[in-house]
Each structure stands twice: as C-alpha cells, then as structure tokens.
Structure 1
Amino acid sequence: MSRRTKDLFYWSLGFVCGIALLVQVQNHLYSNYRVDGKSMDPTLQEGNRLIVTKAGFDERDIEHFDIIVFHKTKQEDYVKRVIGLPGDEITYRNGSLYINQQYIEESYISETAHLRTGLGQANSFTLKTLMGVEKVPKGMLFVLGDNRNMSYDSRHFGFVPIDSVVGKVNMRYWPLTEWQADF
C-alpha cells in the first residue's frame, strides 16, 4: 500500500469511528431537542435548542420542577415541568399551586404571564377532579407547561409514566443570546 492510500485509510477509519462515537453519545449520554410550540413560555420559547441528559438517569433523579423531555407517543416527544411526583397531592386554586397542601411560589412563571393567561377559578383543579385519584400514582408524574393556558399537559393527557422520560433538560444552547445551563 502506498503512503497516500494508508493515510486515506486511517483518516477514513478515524472519521467513521468519530461518527460512531458521536452516535453512541447521543443515544446513551445526551440528546439534542428542539422546542416545538409555546407551552413552556416564558421559560423556553419555540425553536430553542436544548441538551437533555440521559446518562445515569433514573426515577430517583427526578425532582419537583425539573424540566424533562418524555416520549408522549412513539413519534413525539414533549418538554414539560414536573409538578407532581408519586404520592403527591396536587391542587391548583385561584391561580395558585399547592403540592401536598403547601403553597408553591412559581417564580418561573412571570407575573405578566399570570395576568395574561387569566389563571383563576375557571382553571382550578385537583387530581380528583381531573383524574379521579387523589395522589400521583406510583411510577407516574404530573407535568404542566409553564404557559398554563396554552399547554397540552397532564391536565389533558393524564399522568406521564416515569419510564417514558428521556431525560432532564440541563442546557439551552440556541439561540446563543439565551444560552442557559441552570434548569
């Protein structure tokens, strides 16, 4: 083999190995996700690009208010905020969130968003009125979008199985002017 052929072979081999490594990283460690829709406004906007951590992720890693990506269907992934964990009692009354009868200040929802959406009596609910149960069942999550009046979330499709969670959002990298790594 000539020197040029060897160089081309090793360069090609390195390229193929690099692509294989990148595919493995995306499949097992991290995933890229594009926000589609306005359900997470003002926190995430349509078109934002996110990095989702999948590595070493299990249900014990999920906490209240984490932003997660999960498989809604085989073809569709959603991004939402975790509100209820297994065993939690969730109530939304007069525009205020209560978890296990404790008032929760939702600082991630801007005051103007609260006023714009008109959260109040019409949007009050309990898990009992929505789903017929008082607490989030074992192995399930209750999720909401931050843009409460524009979000298709657990109020509409029910609980999210924990095993459908792809991972936690840990970084917004696009647009660069909105780069953020503390979700």
Structure 2
Amino acid sequence: MNRLFSTSSKSRFARLFEFHPPEPRAVARFTVRALQGCLFTHLFWEHFYSVGSTVGASMLPTMNILGDYIVISKLHIRGRGVEVGDMVSYLHPVHAGPGERVVKRIIGMPGDFVVADPVGAPGKMVQVPEGHCWTTGDNLPFSYDSRNYGPVPLALIRGKVIARLYPNRRWFENALKPVEEY
C-alpha cells in the first residue's frame, strides 16, 4: 500500500505538531542561561553604560531638540572623573520626580569661581562649594540650570554623556584645553 494514502499512520503535518515534553535537564539548563543573561544585562545597564533619549532645546546645537539617543557612562557616577567641559546626566535637584534626569555641561567644579548668570546678571561671581558642580546648557536662553537652582551636588550625577548613537553617530570629547602660561 502506498504510504501517502495510508490511514493507519499519522501524516507528516500532524507529526509536526505533536507534543514532546522537554527533558528536565534541558529546561533547567535553559532557565539558568536565561537568568544569567538577565543578570548580566541588569549589571551592564546599571553599573557600566546605558542609553537614553533627549528632549528639549537646552543643549542645542550639540544635541537636537527631540530624538537623539545618547550613551551614558556610569563609570562616572557621583561625579567620579568628570571635569569642566564634560556633559553629564544627573537627577534634577528641584523637580525630583521619579527618573527626572537632565543633561547639562559642567562649567565649574568645587572651589572654582563662575559667573552666576552671564545673561541676566553679568559680573556676579559665585564660588562652587565643595561636593558640588555648576552646570549650564549650551543654549543659555532656553536652559533651566544652575543659574536657576544653584550648584548641583556631585552625588546627583548619574553618568557622563560620551556619545550620540542616533541620528548621527558622534563621540563627545572635552574640547577644553588648559591655559598655557607664558
């Protein structure tokens, strides 16, 4: 008798959808690997690098108003290793909603003297207190920053912005050079 027309055996299509329970060892191995992957991903995003999107005009022209995806290095958490000229992501000191973060540029570190508001009150100098930094946006008229709420505690810094992934890839480097004395 021809196998294609046999009524006693299951068709190839039916055999595809038969349930074969997996071996317990395979299930345990898969579960362990999935947990390891989740743990590694969590540790990587929490302690090394993260990606976030930007919204707002305060960092124009360095970043667009909407739609930029940036890479944040968590190795610089709490201000570790940051210096004047770096862009940092930190928890907003005034609007401390859950996850309310901002990206600004550091223009003063502890002990530095900075102009408090070069647009509104030119000439008024402020010394940055210990454990704090002074931040501003690159687009001063549209930035809500240290000129409005004062120095930012270094403990609020969640990382240093090191690159833009989208729309145009770009690594951010601190372009400030030390002043040479003659």
Per the normalisation by structure 2, the TM-score is 0.72
Match of 2:8 in 1: none
The residue type equivalent to 2:115 in the other structure is: T
Match of 1:85 in 2: 109
Are positions 1:162 and 2:154 aligned together?
yes
For structure 2, the residue ranges without an aligned partner over 5 or more in a row are 1-20, 174-182
1:73-112 counterparts in 2 under 5 A?
73-75=96-98, 76-91=100-115
Higher RCO (CA < 8 A, seq sep 6+):
1
Q: Structure 1's 21 and 127: CA in aligned 2 closer, same or farther, altered over 3 A? A: farther
1:75-154 counterparts in 2 under 5 A?
75=98, 76-91=100-115, 122-128=119-125, 134-154=126-146
Q: Which has the larger radius of gyration?
A: 2
> Is the CA contact (8 Å cut-off) linking 1:171 and 1:180 kept in structure 2?
yes
Percent identity for Structure 1 against Structure 2: 28
1:72-101 CA distances to partner (integer Å, 9 max, x unpaired)? 1252111000011111111278x7xxxxxx
Q: Which runs of at least 4 in structure 1 moved beyond 6 Å after TM superposition?
A: none
Structure having the larger proportion of residues in helix: 1
Partner of 1:17, secondary structure, is helix
Q: Tell me the CA shift for residue 61 of structure 1.
A: 0.8
32, 35, 58: which one aligns with 1:39: 58
Match of 1:26 in 2: 45
11, 22, 26: which one aligns with 1:7: 26
Q: Structure 1's 151 and 56: CA in aligned 2 closer, same or farther, altered over 3 A? A: closer
Q: Tell me the CA shift for residue 5 of structure 1.
A: 4.2
The residue type equivalent to 1:64 in the other structure is: V
Q: How many residue pairs were aligned? A: 148
1:8-65 CA distances to partner (integer Å, 9 max, x unpaired)? 4323321221011101111111122211211101101122111111126554511111
Alpha-carbon RMSD: 2.3
For structure 1, the residue ranges without an aligned partner over 5 or more in a row are 96-121, 129-133
